[in-house]
Amino acid sequence: MNHSFDEVKNELISIEKESGYNFGFNKKATEKEVALFEKKFNVTLPNDYRRFIIEIGNGGFGFEYFNLNHYIHKVNVSDRITKEFPLSEKYNEDENEYHISDDELNNGRINLEWTGCGTHYFLVVNGAESGNIWCNDLESNGEIYPLTHKINYSGDYSVEKHQDFIIWFLKFLTLHNFENKKQ
């Protein structure tokens, strides 16, 4: 099933209306701010993420890292965005023959969510995996891997695809069950 950006917007509206939950997103980014960010770091943000920060909010709601300003003003972090993310498949630091430094693993990505115990999710914005969501679980399980979801087609045919920002955010909303939370 293909999910759309409008589905995310409608889900957020529905949750806020039905539960009274206020997500408290930051002020929306402007087209000009996004264009300047892309030019400064020589990247093209994935369209679904780009629309999110322009039409819904530029971070906030616990997502201080997916606020573009976080990267613009932190030079040691922001320089990493210009470099390519080095992986294209799951990496396990105990099983792989090669070692990738922590600095290299921070290249070409924007952090989205910290979940505790050193685990966090991020969006790749530079390199072959651009547009895909990955999980860094090195501290807990020694792994870093792309998130996937199954797409079922008619009959018995299904395919595993990498998650994009929209799929990840919809799963995030479901996982945290915001419909039953009141502020």
pLDDT at position 71 is: 65
Query: Taking the model in full, what pTM does it have?
Result: 0.84
pLDDT of 50 reads 92
Domain boundaries, given as residue ranges, for the chain: 5-180
Placement of tokens 């915001």 in the chain:
178
Q: In this structure, which amino acid lies at residue 142?
A: G
Phi, psi (5° rounding) for residue 72?
Answer: -65, -35
**Which residues, other chains included, contact 102 with Cβ-Cβ below 8 Å and sequence gap of 6+?**
none
Q: State both tokens at 82.
A: 């210009």
Q: Where are the alpha helices (DSSP H) in the chain?
A: 5-19, 31-41, 47-55, 68-72, 75-81, 102-105, 138-141, 165-176
* pLDDT at residue 66, rounded to an integer: 64
If we measure between CA atoms, which residue out of 129, 123, 118, 126 comes closest to residue 90?
129
Please list the rounded mean pLDDT of every run of 10 residues in the chain (183 residues).
76 83 83 89 91 86 63 62 92 82 87 80 93 89 84 64 87 71 50
Architecture of domain 5-180: 3-Layer(aba) Sandwich (3.40)
